[in-house]
Amino acid sequence: MDEENMTKSEEQQPLSLQKALQQCELVQNMIDLSISNLEGLRTKCATSNDLTQKEIRTLESKLVKYFSRQLSCKKKVALQERNAELDGFPQLRHWFRIVDVRKEVLEEITPGQLSLEDLLEMTDEQVCETVEKYGANREECARLNASLTCLRNVHMSGGNLSKQDWTIQWPTTETGKENNPVCPPEPTPWIRTHLSQSPRVQTKCVQHYCHASPSPGAP
């Protein structure tokens, strides 16, 4: 099945439990691969490159559409026919990886205690109140709400929005820079050389560099 070119009639058809599970698992394979590629691009720390930024945006947009597809498949199965396996889609922990919410936060959430669908039904304030109970910080709350807004819009439209509307509009920080889940650029060659020559200077410079260029969601 071509997930990128599902016809509108197929989108409207009710699904059996077995068929919905098959489609959700197929899309999950695409999600796993896309998230792996996304995290690889983010951790390369070459995100100032325009091509890298474009690839990151493309993967984020695809993931929004994939999660919307899983929500749609699940919705087309009658409530009385659903089982625990189907209720496991879409997976909240994978969405948190897209948003770059720390693992410590997700580990505080008991399986079945909170779902992506629960968050989609909440207001921004309710989302923050909910995830802050598990240790999420202000930046993570802002990114999570931005991502949920995008997914909510795509899902409610039935996936018929333009590709530009699939793009998550990450919030801006107080400094005016975009607060997206991307690590900071690597130190310049001079800094690397300078740090390697003097342990005393290394401590001072590393502390200054880390303070000057914080990474959203990083310890």
Q: What is the pLDDT of residue 97?
A: 96
Residue 189 has pLDDT above 60, yes or no: no
Q: Compute the distance between CA of residue 77 and CA of residue 83 in angstroms, rounded to an integer.
A: 10
Start-end of H helices in the chain: 8-12, 17-43, 50-75, 84-87, 92-99, 103-107, 116-120, 124-132, 138-156, 189-197, 199-212
DSSP code for 76:
T
Q: What are phi and psi of 166, to 5 degrees?
A: -85, -5
Mean pLDDT across 107-129: 95
Angle, in degrees to the nearest 10, between helices 50-75 and 138-156: 60
Q: What are phi and psi of 28, to 5 degrees?
A: -60, -35
Confidence of residue 202 (pLDDT cuts 50, 70, 90): very low
For residue 24, what are its two tokens?
């959700």
Contact 11, 158 (CB under 8 A): yes
Closest alpha carbon to 108 in 83, 125, 133, 85: 133
Give the residue with greater pLDDT, 189 vs 85. 85
Q: Considering only CA atoms, give the Rg of the chain.
A: 20
Task: List pLDDT tens digits, range 41-76.
Answer: 988 765 568 888 899 999 999 999 999 999 999 999
Q: How far is CA 35 from CA 11, 17, 42, in A?
A: 24, 26, 10
Q: Compute the distance between CA of residue 166 and CA of residue 97 in angstroms, rounded to an integer.
A: 17
Q: Compute the distance between CA of residue 90 and CA of residue 216 in angstroms, rounded to an integer.
A: 24
Closest alpha carbon to 184 in 139, 140, 215: 215
Task: List pLDDT tens digits, range 77-92.
Answer: 999 999 999 999 999 9
